Amino acid sequence: MTVMKGALPSVIEAIGSTPIVQLQNVSKGVHADIYAKCEHMNPGGSVKDRIGPNIIQTAEREGLLKPGGTIIEATSGNTGLGLAMVAALRGYKCIFVMADKQSEEKRNALRAAGAEVVICPTNVEPEDPRSYYSVANRLAEETPNSFYASQYYNPANPEAHYVGTGPEIWEQCGEEMDALVLSIGTGGTVSGISKYLKERRPEIQIIGVDPIGSIYHDLFYTGEMPPAHSYFVEVIGEDFLPGTIDMKSMDDVVQVTDQECFTMARRLNREEGLFVGGSSGAAVAGALKYAEKFAHKFEGRRPNIVTIMCDNHNRYLSKIFNDAWMTENGFDL
Ligand SMILES: Cc1ncc(COP(=O)(O)O)c(C=O)c1O
């Protein structure tokens, strides 16, 4: 098929090449220039669009995904959309398993993209047969001609950021960038980007942002697995150690509260015109904390700190951006 000049062959080729913008207001008074890489501007609305094509192409190449097959995944929503986008074009079915803490908007978005959605309880151990990890595993075993995308263990997840997002950030920022601050879930984004950037310039500081209740902060500092407890912010932090995270990819891990994530997400929308969700709020709140704590590392000059805006706000309109929901759950507006 020929493609008209100036057009792309499909929406898949529209993934990536996202802009980096300087924050104007929320960083006032901080001794650093903070930038935002707008991954929420990807066609599926999140950084997870990056991994969909790589996971599917790798599985096709390895013979794990065959024509007419079904893609199964445990997802907090965004990976599901990234996979569904590619599946739509290649004729695969999708079954996505989600925890009930994820917003109604995300479930509906996945259904709109043609997927079957299975909802599981959030507050059970990962090994519990009712957990969304266990249910996804069982469905993958039971469903004929299926492929379990397994973003928590699939090396095609961090690899997508090593070959895509990392080089793109380097091209946009190069030597001028001092630090990258980003929230972590599967760790695919931080591990892939860090590997690429550190190969180019080992001094670039890579800082993970972890919600209080998740394991990464304490694991980073003590080397031991701490107990996890629940928190509100969606899609970041974990209660187990995924195979996709390289803990050594990070120079530090900063902790943030739910309130800090939500307040900053609301401020990014209202004061920066960045229509992003809670994990982007986490990244910027973490970047401001990092800038304050480590200003001395940069010998008096203003460091350039890049953060990643992970997804679009429309997935959280009934929650973070709903004053009644915020108040009912004990958060300040
Ligand atoms: C909105 C959002 N932010 C951050 C992350 C964390 O990215 P990663 O899983 O690559 O660590 C995710 C992952 O699902 C996400 O959907």
Distance 153 CA to ligand 1 centre (A): 14
What spacing in Å lies between the alpha carbon of 78 and ligand 1's midpoint?
A: 8
CA of 211 to the centre of ligand 1 (A): 12
In this prediction, residue 126 carries a pLDDT of 77
Which token pair is 160?
Answer: 């997508």
DSSP per position, 175-223: GG--EEEEE-SSSHHHHHHHHHHHHH-TTSEEEEEEEBTBSHHHHHHHS
* Average pLDDT for 161-188: 97
User: Does the structure show a pLDDT above 90 at 294?
Assistant: no
User: How do residues 6-25 score in pLDDT, each as one tens digit?
Assistant: 999 999 999 999 999 999 99
SS3 248: helix
What's the whole-number mean pLDDT along residues 115-120? 94
Q: How far is the CA of 76 from the centre of ligand 1 (A)?
A: 9
Substitution candidate for ligand 1 out of 39, 42, 46, 48 with most atoms within 8 A of CB: 48
Ligand 1 atom nearest 46 alpha carbon: 1
Residue bearing the bigger pLDDT, 99 or 264? 264
Place of tokens 């990234």: 82
- The CATH architecture assigned to 48-148 reads 3-Layer(aba) Sandwich (3.40)
Tokens of 278: 């809670």
Q: Is 185 in the pocket of ligand 1 (CB under 6 A)?
A: yes
* Chain centroid to CA 291: 22
Q: Is the CB of 263 under 6 A from ligand 1?
A: no
Atom index in ligand 1 nearest the CA of residue 79 equals 14
> Cα(143) to centroid of ligand 1, in Å?
27
Tell whether ligand 1 has an atom less than 6 A from the beta carbon of residue 78: yes
Best probe residue, ligand 1, of 47, 231, 240 (max atoms within 8 Å of C-beta): 47
Which pLDDT score is estimated for 211? 97
Q: Is 48 in the pocket of ligand 1 (CB under 6 A)?
A: yes
Judge if the beta carbon of residue 236 lies within 6 A of ligand 1: yes
35-86 per-position pLDDT tens digit: 999 999 999 999 999 999 999 999 999 999 999 999 999 987 899 999 999 9
Q: Which residues are catalytic?
A: 48
Ligand 1 atom closest to Cα of 311? 1
Q: Please give the Cα distance from 75 to 62 (Å, whole number).
A: 22
Question: Percentage of the chain surpassing pLDDT 70?
Answer: 100
> Is residue 183 in contact with ligand 1, taking CB distance under 6 Å?
yes
**Closest ligand 1 atom to 186 CA:** 9
126 Cβ contact partners less than 8 Å away, ≥ 6 residues apart: 133, 134, 239, 240
Q: What does the pLDDT read at residue 243? A: 97
For the chain, give the percent of residues with pLDDT over 90. 86
Segments making up each domain of the chain, as ranges = 11-41+164-326, 48-148
Which one-letter DSSP state was computed for residue 65? S
Q: Is the CB of 188 under 6 A from ligand 1?
A: yes
Query: Nearest C-alpha to atom 14 of ligand 1 is from which residue?
Result: 235
Q: CA 153, CA 140: separation in Å to the nearest integer?
A: 15
Do the two domains 11-41+164-326 and 48-148 of this chain adopt the same fold? yes
75 lines ligand 1 (CB under 6 A): no
Higher local confidence (pLDDT), 184 or 297: 184
Which residue shows structure tokens 């990807």? Answer: 42
| Ligand 1 pocket check for 311: Cβ under 6 Å | yes
CATH for the stretch 11-41+164-326: 3.40.50.1100
